[in-house]
Amino acid sequence: MDKIKIIGGNPLFGKVFISGAKNTALPIICASLLTDEPVTIKNIPFLSDIKSLNNLLLQLGTDISVNEELLNGHNTQTITYHTPQPTSLIAPYDFVRKMRASYYVLGPLLAKYRHVELSLPGGCAIGARPMDIHLTSLEQMGARIEIKNGYVVADTDDRLKGAHIAFHSASVGATCNILMAAALAEGTTVIENAAKEPEIADLIRMLNKMGAHIEGENTSTLTIYGVKKLHGVTHQIINDRIEAGSYAVAAAITKGRIELINANPEYLKTPLDILQKMGVKIELTPNSIIVDAQNAVLHGEDIYTDYYPGFPTDLQAQFMALMCVSEGASMITENIWENRFMHVPELMRMGANINVHGHASAIVRGVKKLSGAPVMSTDLRASFSLILAGLVAEGETIVNRVYHLDRGYESLEEKFKAVGADIERIKEAD
Ligand code: EPZ
């Protein structure tokens, strides 16, 4: 497995181009299954999660054609997905195990082809990750659902039926799956307590361009008037707010200045507000966010992860790295996932002072310096937090299990090198 080697101490200066959003691309690619016409998606990032999902769609019988394209100065992928008739309605264990967002085929295949078999993804490093909301909502829409041999087997004799559904948690995944299923259902579906993340609004925009009729974008009540057929579309996905937030922390932690090109500040209000409170200067230009921490005296702040527009759980680990080297104490409460402090013992091996209380809260007391160490991480965002710690630590840090980063951060070393980091990938064979 590849590793990343970092020599800490360089303040980072320059520009980072923000890529298309992974967590938008994944449901939007699956939405292409709702039509037998071609769907072209622009601004898809070069990531291993995208490759994994493409492999699943190939196995379902989708034709995929990939083109590279320069968009706003950044090299991206434009991919056309065309599924005239699937050759399989099964999402096998090996695909779902590698990439849990494979579960986004559930709603589209069931709504359009009335049958789907999806391996249950199981838990993962950040928590149990149940799917009860997805399944009970589809049952409310008339689906028969059975769990057999680790698979969800879902059927419906006719079109799914519109229903009034109230989610017990504002789940991003369930909101996407039920939106896609309801788009082709008979009658009207209302989702209460829907997720409001920008990724959902982008999916709604695309579905409406395909001929769906969905109202309530950016609110927690979505109304979907089902239609019989959806057609092909060309859609450009939004940029990745979590990638932008991650590099914002890189500027802050190294006391540098990074311009995040093509980042949308609207999607990052809460984390940018926290950075400002910690002593970082934020400037907005028409197409970028400038994060300036030169000469900043950083001090601790409290964060509480929550559904959008609250503080995103996917930036919690990165902010924790920053708090490790900020003056005073910071309290971090993780409110979304029950097991998302796996980076703590690794940060402590680098000299951080963190006390975890139960599963949900941690007190970070800032230290003067971190020192480099070999570290290991368990998920994508935790890996990035260890890179951040390595960037300010004295000496050498080796981050193991780089495949986590390749799932969600496009061209990571190139982007960091371009702003002056001493970072390199050590290939397994080296
Ligand atoms: C999405 O996961 C993201 N993944 C996650 O990002 C992100 O952390 C999460 O949303 C929260 O923002 C993708 O978009 C591919 P949820 P998802 O369903 O959809 C509970 C990353 O690093 N819940 O919104 O799986 C659940 O336990 C990843 O990019 C149920 O109880 O998350 C959690 O507490 C990691 N029953 C809460 O809802 C359900 O059926 C939110 O989960 C579904 C969820």
Q: What tens digit of pLDDT does each residue of 211-240 get?
A: 999 999 999 999 999 999 999 999 999 999
Q: Kindly give the distance from the C-alpha atom of residue 127 to the centroid of ligand 1, in angstroms, as a whole number.
A: 10
pLDDT value of position 126: 80
Q: Which of 58, 80, 55, 49 is nearest to 67 (CA)?
A: 80
Amino acid code (one letter) for 368:
K
**Whether the model pTM is above 0.85:** yes
Quick one: which atom of ligand 1 is closest to the CA of 173?
19
Buried/exposed 237-247: b ≥16 CB within 10 Å, e otherwise? bbbbbbbbbbb
Contacts of 286 (CB under 8 A, 6+ apart): none
Q: How many CA atoms lie within 13 A of 227 on its CB side?
A: 16
Q: Kindly give the distance from the C-alpha atom of residue 181 to the centroid of ligand 1, in angstroms, as a whole number.
A: 18
pLDDT value of position 429: 65
Q: Which of 110, 105, 89 is nearest to 28 (CA)?
A: 105
**Residues in contact with ligand 1 (CB, 6 Å cut-off):** 23, 26, 101, 127, 129-134, 169, 171-174, 195, 313-314, 336-337, 380-381, 408
Q: Which of 322, 391, 31 is nearest to 175 (CA)?
A: 31
Q: Kindly give the distance from the C-alpha atom of residue 316 to the centroid of ligand 1, in angstroms, as a whole number.
A: 14
Quick one: which atom of ligand 1 is closest to the CA of 129?
27
Residue minimizing CA distance to atom 6 of ligand 1 = 314
Structural domains in the chain, sorted by start: 3-15+240-426 (3.65.10.10), 23-236 (3.65.10.10)
Q: Kindly give the distance from the C-alpha atom of residue 22 to the centroid of ligand 1, in angstroms, as a whole number.
A: 14
pLDDT value of position 324: 98
Extract the tokens encoding 178.
Answer: 């039920």
Q: Residue 415, by phi and psi: left (phi above 0), alpha (psi -120 to 50) or beta?
A: alpha
φ, ψ dihedrals at 57, nearest 5° = -65, -35
Facing residues of 425 across strands? 4
Q: How far apart are CA 257 and CA 271, in angstroms?
A: 17
Buried/exposed 115-147: b ≥16 CB within 10 Å, e otherwise? ebbbbbbeeeebeebebebbbbbbebbbbebee
Quick one: which atom of ligand 1 is closest to the CA of 197?
12
pLDDT value of position 122: 72
Extract the tokens encoding 144.
Answer: 């028969």
Enumerate residue ranges in the chain where pLDDT < 70.
Answer: 429-430
Residue minimizing CA distance to atom 41 of ligand 1 = 171
Residue minimizing CA distance to atom 35 of ligand 1 = 314
Q: What sign for the dihedral angle of Cα 178, 183, 185, 190? A: positive
Amino acid code (one letter) for 81:
Y
Q: How far apart are CA 218 and CA 316, in angstroms?
A: 23
Q: Kindly give the distance from the C-alpha atom of residue 186 to the centroid of ligand 1, in angstroms, as a whole number.
A: 28
Extract the tokens encoding 428.
Answer: 């397994």
pLDDT value of position 165: 98
- Catalytic residue ranges: 124
Q: Which helix (H) or strand (E) holds 166?
A: strand 164-166
Q: Kindly give the distance from the C-alpha atom of residue 204 to the centroid of ligand 1, in angstroms, as a whole number.
A: 18
Q: Residue 314, by phi and psi: left (phi above 0), alpha (psi -120 to 50) or beta?
A: alpha
**Where would I find the beta strands (DSSP E) of 271-314?**
281-285, 288-292, 303-304
Q: Which of 149, 148, 47, 49 is nearest to 411 (CA)?
A: 47
- Probe ligand 1: pick from 22, 29, 171, max atoms within 8 Å of CB? 171
β-pairing, 396-400 vs 374-376, is parallel
Place of tokens 């691309």: 25
Contact (CB, 8 A) for 119 and 98: no
- Probe ligand 1: pick from 139, 172, 191, max atoms within 8 Å of CB? 172
Quick one: which atom of ligand 1 is closest to the CA of 128?
27
**Where would I find the beta strands (DSSP E) of 96-150?**
115-119, 144-148
pLDDT value of position 153: 98
pLDDT value of position 368: 97
